[in-house]
Amino acid sequence: MKTVHEVSKIAGVSVRTLHHYDAIGLLKPTKVTPAGYRLYDESALRRLQTILLFRELRFPLKDIKKMVDQPDFDQMAALKDQIRLLELQREHLDRLIAFARKLERNGGNKVDFSAFDHSEYDRYAEEAKERWGGTDAYKEYVSRAEHQPEDRKENAAQGLMAIFAKFGKVKHQNPSSDEAQALVKELQQFITDNFYTCTPQILAGLGQMYIGDERFRKNINQAGGEGTAEFAAKAIEIYNTGK
């Protein structure tokens, strides 16, 4: 793990910025030592990388947090959006350079504002925000969380880990077994009851996230033992596809 000063150095952001990200819940350290030192693992660094890409694209911090915090956030799919937005930025900059050179050749006399048009970029950026931060599941999650006392949130988190502990107890079986499939159904219902409506599509996305996101995989494996995340993800896939 890396200290806040090490992260500041390799990421090119100030320690003060990292402290601010922590304060607003955008990037929490993986661990805080008894002495108060913030430590960040690889998963946290990947999240920071995603955050900084969105910052380069001029996304407000509140929008970034809304997107990366949503339960079905897909980092690789979001990266494709980020790449497209960066390409649009580059195209816009190329137009501005060509426009400035044309002005230079004409002595700066021609009036033309077409090179300043951001409409395509703005439209795509809004679509990205809506795609990653405006899902019904996320809105429902936020709405519920706002009205839930802290002890209920904690109980829900513990209950979720308890289900993964059950997955760990049957991970020696085939993920298509009745026991494993019953646990997937229990998991889906628990998420619906405590967080947001867990549709088959969202459930499939969660299954992928359980093995694709280091934080989720680590927590699930801590609850059920090594290999639990992979087993649960496979059981979810079978549950959704029927094979």
Question: Which stretches of 70-149 are DSSP H helices?
Answer: 75-105, 119-133, 136-147
Q: Cα–Cα distance between 82 and 52 in angstroms, integer?
A: 11
Residue whose tokens read 């700066």: 108
Using pLDDT thresholds of 50, 70 and 90, give the confidence band for residue 228: very high
Average pLDDT of the segment spanning 4-33:
93
Average pLDDT of the segment spanning 54-83:
82
Backbone angles phi, psi at 114, to 5 degrees: -65, -30
Helix (H, G, I), strand (E, B) or coil at 32: strand
Pull the structure tokens for residue 209: 């996230």
> Other CB atoms closer than 10 Å to residue 34's CB: what's the count?
5
Per-residue pLDDT tens digits for 158-202: 888 999 999 999 999 999 999 999 999 999 999 888 887 888 878
Q: What is the pLDDT of residue 110?
A: 63
Helix (H, G, I), strand (E, B) or coil at 38: strand
Using pLDDT thresholds of 50, 70 and 90, give the confidence band for residue 148: low
Q: Cα–Cα distance between 118 and 230 in angstroms, integer?
A: 44
Higher pLDDT, 170 or 216: 170
Q: Residue 211 CA to chain centroid, in angstroms?
A: 14
Q: What is the pLDDT of residue 9?
A: 93
Using pLDDT thresholds of 50, 70 and 90, give the confidence band for residue 125: low
- Which CATH number is 2-54's, of 1.10.1660.10, 1.10.150.170, 2.40.110.10, 3.30.450.20? 1.10.1660.10
Nearest to 22 by CA among 42, 2, 39: 39
Q: What is the pLDDT of residue 84?
A: 84
Strand partners, 230: none
Q: What is the pLDDT of residue 30?
A: 92
Higher pLDDT, 175 or 92: 175
> Other CB atoms closer than 10 Å to residue 14's CB: what's the count?
10
Q: What is the pLDDT of residue 183?
A: 96
Where are the chain's structural domains? 2-54, 75-133, 146-241
Q: What angle do CA 40, 44, 48 make, to 5 degrees?
A: 115
Q: Cα–Cα distance between 124 and 81 in angstroms, integer?
A: 8
Higher pLDDT, 48 or 205: 48
Q: What is the pLDDT of residue 181?
A: 94
- Which CATH number is 146-241's, of 1.20.272.10, 3.10.450.50, 1.10.490.50, 3.30.1650.10? 1.10.490.50
Per-residue pLDDT tens digits for 37-46: 999 999 999 9
Q: What is the pLDDT of residue 115?
A: 58
- For residue 22, pLDDT over 60 is answered with yes
Query: For 8-17, 47-56, 73-82, which range has the lowest pLDDT when averaged over its residues?
Result: 73-82
